[in-house]
C-alpha cells in the first residue's frame, strides 16, 4: 500500500482513537496529579424529624471561591501515587525496617490495598491465561475431529459461556456454589465437611473466581483456534500420516506450530482482559477475599463520596501494569516481524 | 423488567383511584431518582399523578441510586429534577452543592407539610422527610418459646439465646445480619459503635477520625461473636440475602431494616410457620449501655439546583403530592414508618418506633462521613475472617480514611 493511501485509510480510526482513547487517558493522567481543593468547614444547626444537632458542613461559598481559583484542584504531583492506597512507599519502608522476618513483612505488604489487589490480579492473570489457551485448544481439536453434522451444535454450546453476560454467568455460578447450592452441597459431601463454604474461604473463593474466568474465556480461545484449524495444510498433515505420525505427533509437529501465531494473539488479548478482572468480584460479592485493580477503581468511584484522584491514579497504574505485562509478547512479535 | 413496569403501572392505576391529584397550576419537567423499595414506589406513583399535558413525570428507582444521583444532578440542566435521599445520601449532594433550598417553594406551595418533616440545615430547608427507618431485631417467637427465653433486649442476651438454639439442634446458624463486605458491613459497625457510645471524630468540628479506641475494639469483638452464629457466608449477605435466609427458616434472630419487616411478615416467599411467628422486636443495647446499637434514618426528597425555576416548582408540587396523606391506604400503610398525618402503625413498624423512643442516634450527617463509611466497609472483613487483630483493622480503617480525606481536602 502506498503511504498516502495508508494514511487516508487509517485516518478515521486514528482520529477516533485520539478522541476517545488518547485524550481521556491524558485527562485521567492530569486528574491523578491533582487533589481536591481544601474544603472550608463551618458548624451549622441541623434539624430534622429526630431533633436538632450541631454538625459540620461544607461552607459552599468559601469552598466555591477556592474552586473557582483552581478548577483542577490542588496540584499534588505524585503524592496520590505514593500514598497508602497506591504504591504506599512510606508504609513499605516502615514495614521493611521494623518487621519480624520476611513472613511478617509479606503480611504487612498484603495488608496494603494496592498490593492486596495486585496479588490477586497477577495470580488471576497468570493462572487463567494459560488455562484458557489450553482448554481453548483442546476443545477446538475435539470439535474439529467430530463428525461434520454435530459440529454446528457443538460450536454453539462451546460458545455459550462467552455469550452469557458476565454478570449473569457469574451470578449463576455464585448460587450454585452456595452452601445450599448444587456445587456447594456436592463439595461438602465430597470433602465430608458439612461446614465447608466456598464463599467463606479465601483460597476457595480464589479458585472459584479463576474457574469462572476460565469457563468464561475459554470459548474465545476455542473459536480462534478452531478458525486456525480450518487453514491447516492438508498435504502436510497427509505427509505426516504417511510417515507414520501418530495422532499426538500430528498435533505436536504440524498443528501446534501452525497455530503458534494465534497463540500469541490469544495470550495478548487474555493478558489484557484478565489483568482487568472485575465483574466476577462484584457478582460473587468476593471483595472480602479478593480485590483487583479494576475493582479498586470501581470502589473509589462507587462510594457516596467519589474519590476521582485515587481512581485516576489506580487507572494509570493499571495501564502501566498492562504495558509491562505485554512487553515480552510485543517484543516477540516485533522480532518475528523484523525477521521476515 | 416488564414485570416491574407492570407492577408500577398497576400501583399507578390503583393509586389514581385513591389519590385525587391536587397539582394546581404547574408546568414543567419532573424527573425522580431514588432507591427502590415499596414505600418509595408508592411516593413516586403518587407524584406521577401530577402528569398532564403541561407536566411530564418520569422516575428512575434503582438500588444503585447512590452512585448515579450525584452525576444526574450535576449537569446543567440536571437530568433529574428531584432526588429521593436519606440522611446519609443527602450529604454527597450537599457537598457538591447540587440541591436547592426549599424555603420559597414551601412558602408558596408547601404550607401543608408539617414542620417536623423539614430537614433544616443552617437555617435553610434542604429536604422534606416522609418516612423513618432503622435496623432492629426481628425474631421467631416459636423458636424462642421452644428454648423458653424472652425476646432479647441486649446483644448479650441474643448471643446466649443463639447458643441455646444451636445446642438444642434447632438451627446451626440462628443469627442473621446484613454483613456483606462494603456498605452493609460498615452500616452494621456504625449501629454497634453507636451502642457503645463513643465518638467517631476527635472533636465535633474536626475531620480527624478517632475510632481506634476500646469501644471500637469492643464493637468489632461483639460483631465477631455474632458472626460465630451466622451462616459462614455472612460476608456476602446483603439485605436481600438476609431476608431470604430468614424467610427460608434458616435464621431466627436477625438485625434487619424496618422497611423489610412487611416482606418478612407477608405470606409470600415463606412457610406459614415462619411468617406467622415473625415478630418485629426493638433495637438491642450492648454492654449495659442505654443508647440502642442502631442508627436512625429518614428518607425524604430534595430538589435539584441546576434546573429552571419552573421545573423546580413542578417537581416540588409533584413530590408534595407524592407524600400527601391521601397515599395511605390499607396496602401502603405497612410499607414504612410514614411521617404523614393519618398514619396508623402496624405491628411491622414496632421496631422502628421502639428505636426512635429509645433515643437512638441518627446516622451521622457529616460531609466526610461517606469516606469513613467506605474505609470501614473495605477494612473490617479482614478481622472478622481472623486474618488480623481488631486494633489492626481499625488502624487500617483510620489510615485509609485519612488518606482519602486528605485527597478530598477535608484534612
Q: Do B408 and A35 touch (CB under 8 A)?
A: yes
Say whether both A188 and A60 belong to one domain. no
Q: Which of A47-51, A127-131, B242-246, B304-308 has the lowest mean pLDDT?
A: A47-51
Confidence (pLDDT) at A1: 67
Question: What are the residues whose beta carbons fall under 8 Å from the beta carbon of A79, sequence distance 6 or more?
Answer: A35
CA-nearest of A204, A211, A118, A120 to A170 is A211
Q: Which residue has the cell 488455562?
A: A131
Q: Considering the domain boundaries, does residue A173 fall inside one?
A: yes
Give the mean pLDDT of chain A.
91
- In the stretch 247-306 of chain A, residues with CB closer than 8 A to chain B read 284-289, 299, 301-306
The answer on A313 and A179 residing in a single domain is: yes
The answer to whether residue B291 scores a pLDDT higher than 60 is yes
Please provide the distance, in angstroms rounded to a whole number, between the alpha carbons at the two ends of chain B: 44
Q: What Å distances lie between residue A103 and A92, A97, A106, B41, B393, CA to CA?
A: 14, 14, 5, 53, 19
Binning pLDDT at 50, 70 and 90, where does residue A165 land? confident
- Quick one: A50 and A144 in the same domain? no
Strands B295-303 and B175-177: unpaired
Distance of CA B105 to the CA centre of its chain: 27
Q: Which residues of A touch B233 (CB under 8 A)?
A: 178-179, 197, 199-200
**Residue B105 in contact with residue B309, Cβ under 8 Å?**
no
B265 CB contacts (<8 Å, ≥6 apart)? Answer: B275, B278, B280, B347, B348
CATH code where residue B70 lies: 3.40.190.10
Largest CA distance in chain B: 66
B182 and B98 within one domain: no
For the segment A193-203, what is each residue's pLDDT rounded down to a tens digit?
888 888 889 99
Query: Residue B232 is nearest to which of A200, A305, A310, comparing CB atoms?
Result: A200
B82-104: burial string, b at 16+ Cβ within 10 Å, e else:
bbbbbbbbbbbbbbbbbbbbbee
pLDDT in tens, B26-52: 889 999 999 988 899 999 999 999 998
> Quick one: A275 and A200 in the same domain?
yes
* CB-based contacts of B362, cutoff 8 Å, min separation 6: A48, A50, A51, A53, B87, B295, B296, B297, B298
Structural domain contains residue A21: no
Give the domain-ending residue among A49, A75, A101.
A75
Do B252 and B356 lie in one domain? The reply is yes
Shared-domain flag, residues A279 and A328: yes
Same domain, residue pair B261 and B208: yes
Question: Which of A75, A103, A129 is where one domain is finished?
Answer: A75
Which of A42, A56, A111 is nearest residue B366 as measured by Cβ atoms?
A56
Closest-CA residue of B relative to A80 is: B407
Q: Are residues B249 and B383 in the same domain?
A: yes
Q: Where does the pLDDT of residue B61 fall: very low under 50, low under 70, confident under 90, or very high at 90 and above?
A: very high
Whether chain B has a CB inside 8 Å of the CB on A111: the answer is: yes
Which of B83, B91, B92, B233 best tests the A interface by mutation, with the highest count of A CBs <10 A?
A: B233
pLDDT band at B267 (very low <50, low <70, confident <90, very high): confident
**pLDDT in the model for residue B226:** 97
Q: Does B214 share its domain with B119?
A: no
Q: Are residues B302 and B268 in the same domain?
A: no
pLDDT reported for residue A51: 87
- Using one digit for the tens of pLDDT, what is the confidence trace for B397-409? 999 999 999 999 9
Distance (Å, rounded) from C-alpha B224 to C-alpha B386? Answer: 9
CB contact under 8 A, A84 and B400: yes
CB contact under 8 A, B70 and A74: no
> CA A147, CA A156: separation in Å to the nearest integer?
15
Instruction: Say yes or no: A179 and A328 in one domain.
Output: yes
- pLDDT digit string (tens) for A115-157? 999 999 999 999 999 999 999 999 999 999 898 899 999 999 9
Report angle CA B372, B375, B381 to the nearest 5 degrees.
Answer: 130
B128 plus B190 within the same structural domain: no
Note whether B205 contacts A303, CB cutoff 8 Å: no
Q: B13 pLDDT exceeds 70? A: no
Map grid coordinates 422502628 to a residue: B352
Q: Does this complex have an ipTM over 0.95?
A: no
Among the partner residues B339, B373, B407, nearest to A35 by beta-carbon distance: B407
pLDDT digits (tens, 9 = 90+) for B242-261: 999 999 999 999 999 988 88
CB B204 within 8 A of CB A56: yes
Q: Do B409 and A74 touch (CB under 8 A)?
A: yes
pLDDT tens for A206-245 read 999 999 999 999 999 999 999 999 999 889 889 999 999 8
Average pLDDT over residues A278-307: 90
Using the beta-carbon criterion (under 8 Å), do A301 and B92 form an inter-chain contact? no
Distance from CA of A266 to the nearest CA of B (A): 34
Q: Shortest Cα distance from B160 to chain A (angstroms)?
A: 21
A42 closest CA partner among B121, B41, B182, B306? B121
Contacting A residues, span 26-65, partner chain B, CB-CB under 8 Å: 35-39, 41-51, 53-58, 60, 64
Report how far Cα B186 is from the mean position of its chain's Cα atoms: 13
* Residues spanned by the domain of A68: 39-75
Q: Find the CB nearest B403 among A38, A50, A84.
A: A84
Q: How many CB atoms lie within 10 A of CB B388?
A: 16
Residues of chain B above pLDDT 70, percent: 95
Q: Which chain A positions have a beta carbon within 8 Å of B95's beta carbon?
A: 39, 58, 305
In this structure, are B126 and B179 located in the same domain? no
Domain boundary among B349, B366, B382: B349
CATH number of the structural domain spanning residue A227: 1.10.3720.10
Residue-level pLDDT at B19 = 40
**Where does a domain end: B312, B329, B349?**
B349
Question: Is A63 within the bounds of a domain?
Answer: yes
Domain that holds residue B47: 2-132+297-349
Contact assessment for residue B143 and residue B155, using Cβ atoms and an 8 Å cutoff: no
Of B349, B374, B392, the last residue of a domain is B349
Number of domains, chain A? 3
How far does A186 lie from chain B, in Å, by closest CA? Answer: 17
Residue A68, chain B, CB below 8 Å: the answer is no
How distant is the Cα of A243 from the closest Cα of chain B, in angstroms? 59
How large is the average pLDDT for residues A297-323? 91
Q: Cα-flanking dihedrals φ and ψ of residue B59, to 5°?
A: -145, 145
Please report, in angstroms and rounded to a whole number, the separation of the first and last CA atoms in chain A: 18
The answer to whether the CB atoms of A57 and B121 lie below 8 A apart is yes
Question: What pTM does this model have?
Answer: 0.89
pLDDT value of position B17: 40
Does residue B262 share a domain with residue B393? Answer: yes
Share of chain A above pLDDT 70, in %: 99
pLDDT band at A171 (very low <50, low <70, confident <90, very high): confident
Considering the domain architecture, whether residues A105 and A136 belong to the same structural domain is answered as no
Mean pLDDT for chain B?
90
Whether residue B207 is found in the same domain as residue B128: no
Suggest the residue from B409, B410, B411 to mutate for an interface test with chain A (most A CBs closer than 10 A).
B409
Domain count, chain B: 2
Which chain B residue has its CA at the smallest distance from A59's CA? B95
B296, A57: Cβ pair inside 8 Å? no
**Domain for residue A158, yes or no?**
yes
Convert the pLDDT of each residue in B71-120 to its tens digit: 999 999 999 999 999 999 999 999 989 999 999 999 999 888 998 899 99
Same domain, A146 and A99: no
Cross-strand bridge partners of residue A57: A42
Amino acid at each position: 500500500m502506498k503511504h498516502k493511501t495508508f494514511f487516508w485509510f487509517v485516518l478515521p480510526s486514528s482520529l477516533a482513537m485520539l478522541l476517545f482513547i488518547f485524550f481521556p487517558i491524558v485527562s485521567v493522567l492530569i486528574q491523578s496529579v491533582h487533589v481536591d481543593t481544601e474544603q472550608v468547614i463551618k458548624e451549622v444547626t441541623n434539624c430534622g424529624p429526630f431533633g436538632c444537632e450541631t454538625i459540620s458542613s461544607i461552607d459552599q461559598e468559601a469552598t466555591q471561591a477556592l474552586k473557582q481559583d483552581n478548577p483542577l484542584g490542588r496540584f499534588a504531583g505524585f503524592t496520590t501515587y505514593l500514598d497508602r492506597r497506591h504504591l504506599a512507599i512510606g508504609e513499605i519502608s516502615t514495614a521493611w525496617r521494623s518487621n519480624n522476618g520476611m513472613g511478617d513483612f509479606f503480611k504487612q505488604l498484603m495488608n496494603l490495598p494496592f498490593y492486596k489487589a495486585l496479588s490477586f490480579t497477577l495470580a488471576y492473570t497468570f493462572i487463567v491465561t494459560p488455562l484458557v489457551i489450553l482448554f481453548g485448544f483442546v476443545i477446538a481439536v475435539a470439535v474439529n475431529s467430530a463428525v461434520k453434522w454435530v459440529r454446528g451444535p457443538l460450536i454453539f454450546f462451546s460458545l455459550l459461556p462467552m455469550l452469557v453476560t458476565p454478570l449473569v454467568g457469574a451470578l449463576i455460578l455464585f448460587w450454585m456454589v452456595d452452601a445450599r447450592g448444587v456445587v456447594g452441597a456436592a463439595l461438602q459431601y465430597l470433602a465430608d465437611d458439612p461446614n465447608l463454604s466456598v464463599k467463606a474461604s479465601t483460597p476457595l473463593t480464589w479458585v472459584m473466581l479463576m474457574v469462572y474466568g476460565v469457563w468464561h474465556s475459554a470459548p474465545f480461545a476455542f473459536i480462534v483456534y478452531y478458525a486456525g484449524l480450518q487453514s491447516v495444510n492438508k498435504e502436510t498433515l497427509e505427509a505426516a500420516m504417511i510417515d507414520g505420525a501418530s495422532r499426538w505427533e500430528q498435533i505436536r509437529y504440524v498443528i501446534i506450530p501452525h497455530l503458534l501465531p494465534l497463540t500469541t494473539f490469544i495470550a495478548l488479548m487474555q493478558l489484557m482482559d484478565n489483568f482487568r478482572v472485575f465483574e466476577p468480584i462484584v457478582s460473587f460479592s468476593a471483595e472480602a477475599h479478593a480485590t483487583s485493580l479494576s475493582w479498586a477503581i470501581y470502589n473509589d468511584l462507587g462510594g457516596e463520596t467519589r474519590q476521582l484522584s485515587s481512581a485516576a491514579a489506580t487507572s494509570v497504574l493499571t495501564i502501566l501494569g498492562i504495558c509491562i505485562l505485554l512487553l515480552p509478547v510485543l517484543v516477540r512479535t516485533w522480532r518475528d516481524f523484523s525477521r521476515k | 423488567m416488564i414485570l416491574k413496569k407492570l407492577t408500577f403501572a398497576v400501583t399507578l392505576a390503583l393509586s389514581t383511584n385513591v389519590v385525587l391529584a391536587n397539582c394546581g397550576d404547574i408546568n414543567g419537567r419532573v424527573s425522580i431518582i431514588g432507591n427502590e423499595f415499596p414505600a418509595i414506589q408508592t411516593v413516586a406513583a403518587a407524584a406521577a399523578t401530577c402528569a398532564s399535558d403541561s407536566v411530564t413525570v418520569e422516575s428512575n428507582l434503582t438500588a444503585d441510586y447512590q452512585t448515579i444521583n450525584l452525576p444526574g444532578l450535576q449537569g446543567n440542566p440536571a437530568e433529574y429534577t428531584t432526588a429521593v435521599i436519606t440522611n446519609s445520601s443527602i450529604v454527597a449532594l450537599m457537598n457538591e452543592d447540587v440541591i436547592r433550598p426549599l424555603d420559597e417553594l414551601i412558602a408558596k406551595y408547601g404550607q401543608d407539610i408539617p414542620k417536623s418533616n423539614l430537614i433544616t440545615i443552617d437555617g435553610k430547608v434542604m429536604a422534606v422527610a416522609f418516612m423513618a427507618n432503622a435496623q432492629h431485631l426481628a425474631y421467631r417467637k416459636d423458636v424462642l418459646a421452644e428454648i423458653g427465653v424472652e425476646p432479647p433486649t441486649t446483644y448479650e442476651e441474643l448471643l446466649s439465646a443463639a447458643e441455646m438454639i444451636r445446642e438444642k439442634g434447632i438451627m446451626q446458624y440462628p443469627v442473621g445480619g446484613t454483613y456483606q463486605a462494603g456498605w452493609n458491613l460498615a452500616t452494621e459497625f456504625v449501629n454497634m459503635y453507636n451502642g457503645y457510645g463513643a465518638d467517631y471524630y476527635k472533636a465535633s468540628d474536626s475531620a480527624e477520625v478517632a475510632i481506634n479506641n476500646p469501644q471500637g475494639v469492643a464493637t468489632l469483638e461483639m460483631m465477631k461473636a455474632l458472626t460465630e452464629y451466622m451462616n459462614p457466608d455472612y460476608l456476602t449477605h446483603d439485605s436481600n440475602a438476609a431476608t431470604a435466609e430468614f424467610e427460608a427458616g434458616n435464621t431466627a434472630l436477625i438485625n434487619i431494616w424496618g422497611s423489610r419487616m412487611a416482606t418478612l411478615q407477608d405470606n409470600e416467599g415463606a412457610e406459614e410457620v415462619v411468617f406467622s411467628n415473625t415478630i418485629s422486636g426493638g433495637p438491642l443495647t450492648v454492654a449495659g449501655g442505654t443508647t440502642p446499637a442502631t442508627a436512625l434514618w429518614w428518607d425524604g426528597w430534595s430538589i435539584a439546583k441546576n434546573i429552571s425555576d419552573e421545573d423546580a416548582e413542578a417537581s416540588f408540587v409533584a413530590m408534595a403530592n407524592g407524600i400527601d396523606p391521601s397515599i395511605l391506604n390499607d396496602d401502603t400503610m405497612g410499607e414504612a414508618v410514614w411521617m404523614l398525618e393519618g398514619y396508623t402503625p402496624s405491628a411491622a413498624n414496632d421496631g422502628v418506633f421502639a428505636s426512635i423512643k429509645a433515643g437512638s442516634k441518627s446516622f451521622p450527617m457529616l460531609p466526610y462521613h461517606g469516606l469513613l463509611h467506605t474505609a470501614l466497609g473495605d477494612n473490617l472483613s479482614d478481622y472478622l475472617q481472623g486474618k488480623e487483630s481488631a486494633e489492626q483493622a481499625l488502624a487500617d480503617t483510620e489510615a485509609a480514611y485519612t488518606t482519602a480525606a486528605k485527597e478530598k481536602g477535608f484534612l
